[in-house]
Structure 1
Amino acid sequence: MIELGKKQIMYVVKKTPLGIFINENPDDLINSIVLSNQELERADDEKVYELGDEIEVYCYLDQKKKLQGTLMPPLLCNGEIGILEAVETNHFGAFLEWGYDKDILMPFSEQLRPIKKGYKVLVGIYEDKSGRLCATQKIKKILRSDSPYKENDQVTGLIYDIKDDMGAFVAVEGKYYGLILTNELLPNMKIGQKIEGRITKVREDGKLNLTTAQRIDFQMDSDSERLYQRLCDADGFLPYHDKTDKDVINKAFNMSKGAFKRALGRLYKEEKILIKEDGIYKI
């Protein structure tokens, strides 16, 4: 079955002076797609294809809703998320540039706020009920929970939402549900930001908990050294402790409240500090 907007293997079923005919079924010529010589040249594909050869293509519907194939990937594939620019708006919604002659539509029902021409928006690509590819700002609807990752795996992701009471919602590798919990948030985190993180937990539902910190044993060393140096630079006193608000900690040290408390605990156990109601004292 042909999947729009995704890379897939097809076969050469006919050759002509103007190009090649391809199909997912190597024995089906009737329902084939034409790849012109101009299309092959545009993709810098110099291979001479023979009947039965495999070829990797992306399929989409053109302005006449006719199935087309191309060797060139879109800016975002079906099921992926990223930032696209609005090039036109009308009574259907906003049209976004995504690498093909036909811009992709983001209907009004898929917009979180009104979109104007020139806006760059964080979207995901999905196939609607009618079989057409569309864009949506409702990223959560296209993410999956069947990732191959396990605890302590390193991943990349894109923050698509932040809620103060829950944390930062992340599309891990552009495909999977991820969450950075509130106590692990950093002050510079924002929607649309790319992050590098580590899996701290794979939940029962398959969703992933993340942190941007290193493994705790490594991170504690780094954080406690940094905190102790700040304490020394401040003549042995800092007006912060384990009850200080997380936003104050984030702003002062650029670390999460959880990381701060772990570093504080490390220094306390090493008998380098005293923790009092008004702050931290160097011993």
Structure 2
Amino acid sequence: MNKRQNKNRAQAAPANLQAGMTVTMTVARQTEIGYFLHEGEDEVFLHRSEAEGPLRIGEEADVFLYHDHENRLAATMQMPYVSWGEYGWLEVVDVSPRLGVFLDNGIKKHLLLFVDDLPKMRQEWPRTGDRLLVTLKRDKQGRLLAKPASEEEISRIAVPADSDMHNKWVEGTVYKVIQEGAFLFTDDEHVLFVHRDEMTEPLRLGQSVRCRVIYVRADGRLNGSMQARKEVRYAEDADKLLHYLIDRGGAMPYTDDTPADIIREKFAMSKSAFKRALGKLMKEQKVEQDEGWTRLIRK
């Protein structure tokens, strides 16, 4: 048998055991660096660093099975946050443009969410510190991967919202991004959709977002907005212009006739929002426009 065949034999998984299983195994023998555990004819290695204290020959241990960095089936006494058949929120700890994102599942080896299960647009990928709702799956080699929660699973665990949720602010996490907007799963386990027109910034998978409920659907799902109510936004925009004028000594070369691209560049607001804010200030007799300039009215 050549070296390549020896390597393949060493990495072959036991016939009845698979990554992702939580099993009770017996210590068959020990070495300087760990223990060999067996269940029937199957045997798996448990490194001392993965054991919770010293073990004796014949002692039983509850272990979680995974593939180590040399692609061998191994055991750990550390229990994962998400086990086989379960769903849970896991934190992103690293991002690889080639492979995908790595998640902390409570054991030393991080769980990979493969690139094929992520949005095609890189700006919609999660970042370090974001959280994803996932379960476990195996690739063709039997190695563990993360699998995003399906729409069916979200529907199964979601709670219908009551009509009194209208205009309330909620916290949620993005679990799906589509061309029209993004779906969130709120802290109260409601499903909420944010249309792109209601966003204050582009959203990404796993991002935590604060939204205002603008509509409660008959099926208990929510539509939301990241923007404040119109009257609040008008007041905030007007206050922004007022402070800008004060900082400039009471005058600025921008009026209702200023092009929209300049308005957006200077004030990060649309031309219509700018005109509404100026109109509010003029109605309150705080500013006036004259020959291409807007000036504070000194009282």
| TM-score range relative to shorter protein | 0.3 to 0.5
Structure with the greater alpha carbon radius of gyration: 2
TM-score using structure 1 length: 0.48
